Amino acid sequence: MKKTNVVMIIADDLGYWALGCYGNKDAITPNIDRLAQQGKKFENFFCVSPVCSPARASIFTGRIPSQHGIHDWLEEWENGATTEHYLKGQSTFVDQLKQHGYHCAMSGKWHLGMADMPQCGFDHWYSHQRGGGPYFNAPMYQDGVFIEEPEYITDKITDYGLDFIEKVHNAKQPFFLNLSYTAPHSPWDRKNHPQEMLDLYADCQFESCPRDPYHPWKIYETFEGDETARLEILRGYFAALTSMDFNIGRILHSLEEKGILENTLIIFTSDNGMNMGHHGIFGKGNGTSPVNMFDTSVKVPFILYHKNHLSTDTVDNLLSHYDFRHTLLEYLNINDEQQAQVRYPGKSFASLLKQDSSNPLEENHLVIFDEYGPTRMIRNRSFKYIHRYPDGPYEFYDLRNDPDERHNQINNPNYQQQITQMRRELNRWFNQYINKEIDGATLPVYGGGQRTFAGEWGGYAENTFNKYTSKFIFSAEAELQEKVDVKVKEKIQ
């Protein structure tokens, strides 16, 4: 019998709160909602880092940033192409699929380094040159050839996926298709999205997006405007989302039409969360300085659909993208040949897919960890602690009484025992897995973009830091780093 096909859909900057199936009454997302209704919806799923490049690297490798070496969004460009293969020498789950006979295609956003040629197990390749940009005339590489795509890029990412399905659906080998949309990432202005999609939200007041006071750490690049301007950018965000949803419908229709839907596992998720007014932020983890770990930044949608193979229910366990590699390969009955060679932080939750998900998993699925450079988070159902190296600021939230994370209790004497315990647990967990040469706790990562690594494993050679109204280009040399650290401390005190 032919092995199970896999279609993995990754949205860009999509908060879990933005989908109809997660309770949003503004969003028009019928196809994603259908996947959730007829499949498994995960209520407490988290990214590994609240910004695109490290989050995506963790999805594919199963490693945390302090293992794979990508700590911030990548912005290194030379003659229109990135010059580094950032995941060189590191196994991805796609590598494992390819070794077991899968045809593998990537269509859309890569943003993990060199974008012009297939890599990391993929043979078919339609990649955005950068990490994002205009929805019309997007810079793309199609199997090594650079083109500027005149049509709406969400449609074209889908077109490439449909062409790939058409070519391989009758083959004896199974296929893996990664659709990595740039939606609903900015830009959100009218010229970037089809008018018919914008018109769907013409009268929407977007009550699902709070108009909170601006966060005191909000960086200057994010939105500041009146109510008319706010509604305009939200109209663009949701138009981009609905365009992606309609294109997912095209994929589902093709699979049904070809009679292979029942033999295809569909995965839907986002690289990281997103704030669209939440906490007074328009952005993700680097929407503030210092970077933040609010649930709206680190919590993501995660939906699995496999017609007639999965029970239709909601999973409440705390799970992470660092668990995904192991889960997928176990579900497909593929032995991960790297399992004994790498200290992977995640564990498979495939048992939840094969039984009543009300049965609890082992203890390692009760706590979640995140990192973004020197900022690290530990979270369980009741509490969240955020540690920033070398000396703060720190945060602690009682999620039982303050689920929206409004009140930082770090100095509350009633919580000091819990804070101490979680700090120790966070340090112990990361010390198990970090590669000391690329330990994010000791590197100058501020959310402004990562320029380059030196050598196969890295060690920062250069980094870009875009902060308030100043821009620093600096190396990891101690003297210069110390000067930058002083400036940062002055800004956040």
Whether the predicted pLDDT of 228 surpasses 80 = yes
Report the predicted TM-score, pTM, of the whole model to 2 decimal places. 0.91
pLDDT, one tens digit per residue, over 349-401 is: 999 987 554 555 554 568 999 999 999 999 999 999 999 999 999 999 999 99
CATH fold group of domain 5-360: Alkaline Phosphatase, subunit A (3.40.720)
SS3 assignment for 444-489 = CCCCCCEEEECCCCCCEEEEEEEECCEEEEECCCHHHHHHHHHHHH
Residue 216 preceded by cis peptide, ω within 30: no
| Partner residues linked to 470 by β-bridges | 467
Burial code (b: 16+ CB inside 10 Å, e: under 16) for 111-127 equals bbbbbbebbbbbebbbb
Distances (CA, A) of 375 to 2, 18, 65, 270, 440: 45, 26, 12, 21, 8
Reported as a pLDDT band with limits 50, 70 and 90, residue 78 is: low
Whether the predicted pLDDT of 490 surpasses 60 = no
Reported as a pLDDT band with limits 50, 70 and 90, residue 84 is: confident
Whether the predicted pLDDT of 484 surpasses 50 = no
Average pLDDT over residues 1-19: 95
| Partner residues linked to 128 by β-bridges | 140
Per DSSP, the residues of 355-404 read S-TTSPPPGGGS-EEEEETTEEEEE-SSEEEEEETTT---EEEETTT-TT
In terms of DSSP bridges, do strands 103-108 and 124-128 run parallel, antiparallel, or are they unpaired?
A: parallel
For the chain, the domains span 5-360
At 455 the pLDDT is: 33
Q: Supply φ then ψ for residue 291, to 5 degrees.
A: -65, 155
pLDDT, one tens digit per residue, over 135-152 is: 999 999 988 899 999 999
| pLDDT > 70: percent of the chain | 87
At 459 the pLDDT is: 36
At 364 the pLDDT is: 52
Tell me the C-alpha distance between 252 and 268, whole Å: 12
At 356 the pLDDT is: 52
At 75 the pLDDT is: 80
Whether the predicted pLDDT of 478 surpasses 70 = no
Is the pLDDT higher at 391 or at 465? 391
At 131 the pLDDT is: 87
At 452 the pLDDT is: 65
Reported as a pLDDT band with limits 50, 70 and 90, residue 485 is: very low
Reported as a pLDDT band with limits 50, 70 and 90, residue 81 is: low
pLDDT, one tens digit per residue, over 93-116 is: 999 999 999 999 999 999 998 888
pLDDT, one tens digit per residue, over 148-207 is: 999 999 999 999 999 999 999 999 999 999 999 999 999 999 999 999 999 999 999 999
| pLDDT > 90: percent of the chain | 78
At 196 the pLDDT is: 98
Element (H, E) at 61: helix 52-61
* Average pLDDT of the residues of the chain: 89
At 362 the pLDDT is: 53
Whether the predicted pLDDT of 466 surpasses 50 = no
pLDDT, one tens digit per residue, over 438-447 is: 999 999 998 9
Average pLDDT over residues 61-85: 82
pLDDT, one tens digit per residue, over 231-287 is: 999 999 999 999 999 999 999 999 999 999 999 999 999 999 999 999 999 999 999
Q: Which of 126-130, 328-332, 429-433, 487-491 bottoms out in mean pLDDT, i.e. has the lowest?
A: 487-491
